[in-house]
Chains A and B, each alone.
Chain A
Amino acid sequence: MNVLVCIKRVPDTGSRFELTADRQDIDTRNLEFTISPHEECAVEEAIRLVEQHGGTSTVLTLGPEAASEQIREALAKGIERGVLLETDGSEWDAAATASAIVEAIRALSFDVLLFGNESADAGNYQVGVRVAYALDLPCVTGIKALKIENGKALAKREVRGGWEVYEVPLPAVFTVKEGINTPRHPSLRGIMMAKKKEIERIKPSQKEAGLVKKSLRKPPERRGQVELLGQGAEAVPAIIAKLKELGVIPR
């Protein structure tokens, strides 16, 4: 079984972030980068599928040279091959990203193509779906369970009050949600091996954007003065009084 997993490099925003002066981006000068959360689980799922069924795994991302850091992270966990669709780091919209991915993989043969349901930063909900349509493959979105049997895939998606079960023939595209698995940490040996691996680099051509970012801004924040109830266990009477005041416990 040949598995492709597409990931995105995103800043690890932590608790606070600032925008750049031109309001085009988050100021990332003091931030680390990571694989977008849903895709981190997609990487894990790819590794598990190959562990169970044999075959090869490939990780692909579209982004600047710095995104090779996220490719190496996936390689360190156990993905075999890395492909970087190298850009100048400017943001590509979902249609342009999907079209570049399709261009790069059209000649290759994959049984399972994994994406994140939506990226943490842009949240377009489209790249996996667009790739599936361009390649005329079935696509199940937002899955939290995947089982492959006899050339078919059973995928589960969480909905209000339960689960939807889908069965599709392979090859197929799946967009994954966090919770499908618990991603492993890379081993020291994996990290060493990933450092030496050759990453395949492709310069993709960029389709004109249909959704054009003008600028970013922060939404108005709910910000009141915090009322300090005290320090340590001595604050308990004040907490109890507050719970009464809020009607959480009887007076």
Chain B
Amino acid sequence: MISSVARNSAAILGVVEHDRGRILEESLEMLTLLRGVAALLSAPLEAALIGREAEPLGPSLKEQGVRRVYLIPHERWDSYAPEAWAKGLAQLIEAKRPQVVAAAGTDRGNELLARVAAHLGLAMAANCTEVRPGPPFEVTRLRWGGSLLEDAELKGDPKLLTVAPHAIPAEASPALEFQIEIFSPSLEERDLRVRVKERLEAKRTGASLADAKVVVGGGRGVGGAEGFKILEELAQLLGGAVGGTRVATNNGWRPHSDQIGQTGVQIAPDLYIACGISGAIQHMVGVKGAKRILAINKDPEAPIFARADYGVIGDLHEIIPALIAELKKRQAR
């Protein structure tokens, strides 16, 4: 029987991330990818949930094909304490000996697994899009924020990796058996030296870049902070948000929080209007999620035109005011 083989085989362990009572979509994607790996190895899929607030989320993981959930509660880490969390995970790994340990490639997932790797002296592969358990154990992972792929061999036991967000869609597939086990790590006071002391909520005004349906972006061609005023006006007329390239934020034309790209925000609007933007890789990896791109640029040779759906060749300082005037005329009707 398959299940007797599976019981002899070391588990595949997913570290599941949650935020204010919900399991992150990225963690569901990670579990979907791990389920495939578990099937190839005839190994059981297991999951770890850290923090007391995670307890009610445990049973829902059965739907993801998880056979066993380890709940790791601790009275001292209701706020995020990365050193202590990683130590707790390392103790779980040493006690249960899984063959693969993975988390979602979020800030927290990458941080936690890097800490577990450092703690246990193991290698770690960040932002994997594919896992081929081999042997040899190979992964495909993102480089340059996703504009390049690397095929690599991952050594060590267990294999530590994170799964790139949105590399594959999350799919449910219920497990036939399911159990929940409490795992209590042993911690010292100093393991809590790095922890969240306070959480500040951000002030929200208008559509946020990450959620906006229309985004108007400006680059070098905008020329300065003053030039962004027409982009603001256009975004407002279309109910959208304004962002900029690294050139725009590094020159102080926009605050850094408006940066779209590898080192800024990743956007996924229905329409992205790129104004005076050449199409540098650093920027384009941030707009991969855009359904349609309209590029406005003086230079017909600009690389942005090779990646856009619609193009207008010309000076944005003439085109955008004319477009604004036309939109206003229509509104007045």
Binary interface profile of B, 154-184, with partner A (CB < 8 Å = 1, else 0)?
1110000010000000000000000000000
The reply to whether A162 and B152 form a contact with Cβ atoms under 8 Å apart is: no
Q: Which of chain B's residues has its CB closest to A173's CB? A: B194
Q: Which of chain B's residues has its CB closest to A212's CB? A: B153
| Chain B residues within 8 Å of A216, by CB | 143, 148-151
**CB of A134 closer than 8 Å to a CB of B:** yes
Q: Count residues of chain B with CB under 8 A from any CB of chain A.
A: 88
**CB of A14 closer than 8 Å to a CB of B:** yes
Taking a contact as CB atoms closer than 8 A, the residue among B149, B153, B307, B312 that contacts A235 in the complex is B312
**CB of A108 closer than 8 Å to a CB of B:** no
| Chain A residues within 8 Å of B197, by CB | 165-167
The reply to whether A236 and B123 form a contact with Cβ atoms under 8 Å apart is: no
The reply to whether B263 and A125 form a contact with Cβ atoms under 8 Å apart is: no
One of A49-57, A67-75, A79-87, A138-146 contacting the partner: A138-146
Contacts A178-B263, A210-B123, A249-B330 given: A226-B311 contact, CB under 8 Å? yes
Binary interface profile of B, 178-220, with partner A (CB < 8 Å = 1, else 0)?
0000000000000001111111111000000000011000000
| Chain B residues within 8 Å of A237, by CB | 326
- Expressed in whole angstroms, the Cα–Cα distance for A231 and B196 within the complex equals 53
**CB of A62 closer than 8 Å to a CB of B:** no
**CB of A21 closer than 8 Å to a CB of B:** no
| Chain A residues within 8 Å of B193, by CB | 138, 168-169
Give the secondary structure class of A's interface: mixed
**CB of B57 closer than 8 Å to a CB of A:** no
The reply to whether A240 and B326 form a contact with Cβ atoms under 8 Å apart is: yes
| Chain B residues within 8 Å of A222, by CB | 288, 307
**CB of A246 closer than 8 Å to a CB of B:** yes
A-B contact count (CB 8 A): 243
Chain B nearest CB, measured from A139 CB (Å): 7
The reply to whether A130 and B114 form a contact with Cβ atoms under 8 Å apart is: yes
**CB of A230 closer than 8 Å to a CB of B:** yes
**CB of B146 closer than 8 Å to a CB of A:** yes
| Chain B residues within 8 Å of A210, by CB | 122-124, 154-156
Contacts A124-B126, A233-B318 given: A14-B281 contact, CB under 8 Å? yes
The reply to whether A37 and B246 form a contact with Cβ atoms under 8 Å apart is: yes
Binary interface profile of A, 98-138, with partner B (CB < 8 Å = 1, else 0)?
10000000000000000000101111111001101110001
| Chain A residues within 8 Å of B213, by CB | 248
Chain B nearest CB, measured from A102 CB (Å): 11
**CB of A45 closer than 8 Å to a CB of B:** no
- Expressed in whole angstroms, the Cα–Cα distance for A236 and B321 within the complex equals 10
The reply to whether B149 and A218 form a contact with Cβ atoms under 8 Å apart is: yes
Chain A nearest CB, measured from B207 CB (Å): 13
**CB of A33 closer than 8 Å to a CB of B:** no
| Chain A residues within 8 Å of B318, by CB | 232-233
- Expressed in whole angstroms, the Cα–Cα distance for A216 and B315 within the complex equals 38
- Expressed in whole angstroms, the Cα–Cα distance for A159 and B17 within the complex equals 13
- Expressed in whole angstroms, the Cα–Cα distance for A157 and B144 within the complex equals 22
- Expressed in whole angstroms, the Cα–Cα distance for A94 and B314 within the complex equals 45
**CB of B77 closer than 8 Å to a CB of A:** no
The reply to whether A223 and B214 form a contact with Cβ atoms under 8 Å apart is: no
Taking a contact as CB atoms closer than 8 A, the residue among A37, A95, A123, A209 that contacts B143 in the complex is A123
**CB of A189 closer than 8 Å to a CB of B:** no
Taking a contact as CB atoms closer than 8 A, the residue among B127, B148, B278, B319 that contacts A236 in the complex is B319
- Expressed in whole angstroms, the Cα–Cα distance for A132 and B118 within the complex equals 9
**Which residues of A1-59 have CB atoms within 8 Å of chain B's CB atoms?**
13-17, 26, 37-38
Taking a contact as CB atoms closer than 8 A, the residue among A140, A219, A229 that contacts B148 in the complex is A219
The reply to whether A125 and B326 form a contact with Cβ atoms under 8 Å apart is: no
The reply to whether B314 and A231 form a contact with Cβ atoms under 8 Å apart is: yes
CB<8 Å pairs between A and B, sample of 6: A159-B107, A162-B202, A165-B199, A168-B193, A231-B314, A249-B330
10 more A-B contacts (CB under 8 A) besides A16-B303, A165-B199, A239-B323? Answer: A15-B278, A37-B246, A121-B144, A122-B143, A142-B111, A163-B202, A182-B252, A216-B149, A228-B311, A249-B238
The 4 A-B residue pairs whose C-beta atoms are closest, nearest first, are A210-B123, A179-B256, A133-B118, A232-B314
